Amino acid sequence: MTPKTDSGIIIIEINKEGEKKMEKMKKVFLDLDGTLVRFNVERALERFDNEKGFFANLLAFDNIEIVNKLATKGNLFIISASPNEQADKDKMEWIKKYLPNICLDNITICRIGENKAKIIQEKYAVTFDASCFLLDDYTKNLWEWEQMGGIGIKRLTVDADNSTNKWKGLTLSSLEELINFC
């Protein structure tokens, strides 16, 4: 399902005359592995844990340049789980290479197994509402995001096709569809 969204802003306040409206920009948080990064390589999990530079050399999915272009608006964020400090560095290198328009303040690397929604809530003054999205291939992360009040978008790829139909919410098959959420 490809969602049709509005122009990317929502009305949050009307002044006392009822005329002027305040508008709020959407925030879109992006996972890396299996969402922006092609993680489907041999012995990926083992190499990810132990091999220096492994993550930095992984390829991006098609249309990553569209994501980088959209990032100039400042409302795209990265939230990615990593097993150790070496992988943290490698991930930062990957982001620098493919998404140079995402500023440092918008990047969060957490540890594997942590609740991404909680990490983001603690780090930023984010209101988890219909303007706060998480794009992720891992359904558990999306459920936790929606429990907090945000909107999950399931990233569909050849490796994560939602064939078990566990996820009932929004989905995204190609990164160019991200424009609908920004």
Cβ 127 to Mg ion shortest distance, Å = 24
Q: Give the x-and-dash track for 45-84 against Mg ion (CB under 5 A).
A: ----------------------------------------
Query: Beta 170-172 vs 27-30: how paired, if at all?
Result: unpaired
User: Is 137 among the residues that bind Mg ion (CB under 5 A)?
Assistant: yes
Helix ranges restricted to H, 51-158: 64-70, 85-98, 116-123, 139-147
> Based on CB atoms, which residue is closest to Mg ion, 25 or 30?
30
144 belongs to the binding site for Mg ion (CB under 5 A): no
Of 32, 27, 4, the C-alpha closest to 138 is 32
Query: Of 81 and 151, which CB lies nearer to Mg ion in the complex structure?
Result: 81
User: Residues 29, 31, 128, 148: which binds Mg ion (CB under 5 A)?
Assistant: 31
User: For residues 80 and 15, what is the distance between their CA atoms, to the nearest angstrom?
Assistant: 39
Question: Which amino acid, one-letter code, is at 139?
Answer: T
Among 26, 27, 29, 33, binds Mg ion (CB under 5 A): 33
CB 32 within 8 A of CB 87: no
- Closest contact distance (angstroms) between CB of 66 and Mg ion is 19
Q: Could you say whether residue 152 binds Mg ion (CB under 5 A)? A: no
**Which residue do the tokens 């995001």 mark?**
145
Residue 80 CA to its chain's centroid (Å): 8
The residues binding Mg ion (CB under 5 A) are 31, 33-34, 137-138
